[in-house]
Structure 1
Amino acid sequence: MTTTCDLELSVEQAELIADGVLALTLRAPDGADLPAWDPGAHIDLVLTPDLIRTYSLCGDPADRRTWRIAVLNEPAGRGGSAHVHRELAPGTKVTARGPRNHFPLHPAPRYRFVAGGIGITPLLPMLAAAESVGAEWTLLYGGRTRQSMAYADELTARYGPGRIRIAPHDETGLLDLPAALADPDPDTRVYCCGPTPLLDAVTAHHTANWPPGTLHLERFQPLEQETPLDSFELELARSTRTLTVTPDQSVLEAVRSAGVEVLYSCTEGTCGTCETDVLDGVPDHRDTVLTDAERATNETMMICVSRCKGTRLVLDL
Structure 2
Amino acid sequence: MPTDTELDSNPRTTPADGGAESADGSAAPADGEGELDLLLTAKTVAADGVVVLHLRHPGGVPLPSWEPGAHLDLLLRPDLVRQYSLCGDPADRTELRVAVLRESAGRGGSAYVHDGLPVGATVRVRGPRNHFALLPAQRYLFIAGGIGITPIVPMVAAAQASGADWRLVYGGRSRTSMAFRTELRDRYGDRVSIQPQDETGLLDLPALLAEPDPGRLVYCCGPEPLLGAVEANCRHWPAGTLRVERFAPKTFAEPVRRESFEVELAQSGRTLAVPPDRSILQTVEEAGIPVLSSCQEGTCGTCETPVLAGIPEHRDSLLTDEEQAANDTMMICVSRSRTPKLVLDL
Q: Into which bin does the TM-score normalised by the smaller protein fall?
A: over 0.9
Give the stretch that moved more between structures: 266-275 or 81-90: 81-90
Task: Give the CA deviation at 1:10.
Answer: 1.1
TM-superposed deviation, 1:207: 0.8
Determine if the alignment matches structure 1 residue 237 to structure 2 residue 266.
yes
Q: Which structure 1 residue ranges, 5 or more long, are not aligned?
A: none
Identity percentage of aligned residues: 61
**Which of the residues 211, 223, 229 maps onto 2:238?**
211
Instruction: State the shift of 1:182 in Å.
Output: 4.1
Q: Which amino acid aligns with 1:255?
A: V
Alpha-carbon distance in structure 2 between the residues aligned to 1:133 and 1:182: 26
Encode CA deviations 1:216-241: one digit per residue, 9 max, x unaligned: 11111111011244322233333333
Instruction: After TM superposition, give the deviation of residue 95 of structure 1 in Å.
Output: 1.3
C-alpha separation in 2, matches of 1:248 and 1:221: 22
Contact between 1:140 and 1:180, CA under 8 Å: does it hold in 2?
no
Cα distance in 1 for partners of 2:272, 2:206 equals: 49
Cα shift readout 1:262-302 (whole Å, capped 9, x = no counterpart) = 11122111111111122332111111222222222222111
How many residue pairs were aligned?
A: 314
Mean Cα deviation higher: 266-275 or 114-123:
266-275
Matched, 1:227 2:286: no
Q: Give 1:5's aligned residue.
A: 34
Following superposition, the deviation at residue 45 of structure 1 comes to: 1.4
Q: Among residues 57, 61, 66, which one is paired with 2:95 in the alignment?
A: 66
CA RMSD of aligned residues (A): 1.8
How many Å separate the matches in 2 of 1:242 and 1:79?
39
Structure 2, unmatched stretches of 5+, are 1-14, 17-32
Is 2:291–2:303's contact at 8 Å kept on the other side of the alignment? yes
User: When the two structures are superposed, what TM-score results if normalisation uses the length of structure 2?
Assistant: 0.86
Q: Tell me which residue corresponds to 1:181.
A: 209
Structure 2 CA distance, aligned partners of 1:311 and 1:52? 34
Contact 2:36 2:125 in 1 (8 A): yes
Q: 1:78 to 1:250 in 2, by over 3 A?
A: farther
Q: Aligned ranges for residues 17-96 of structure 1 at < 5 Å?
A: 17-96=46-125
| Residue 190 (structure 1) aligned to one of 195, 205, 218 | 218
Cα distance between partner residues in 2 of 1:43 and 1:150: 19
Which of residues 270, 283, 288 in structure 1 aligns to 2:317? 288
2:338 is the counterpart of 1:309: yes
The question of 1:251 aligning with 2:280 is answered: yes
Runs of 4+ in 1 over 6 A off after TM superposition: none
Q: TM-score, normalised by structure 1?
A: 0.93
For 1:23, the aligned partner's letter is V
> Which amino acid is the alignment partner of residue 266 of structure 1?
C
Q: Distance in 2 between matches of 1:98 and 1:254?
A: 25
Structure 2 letter corresponding to 1:287: D
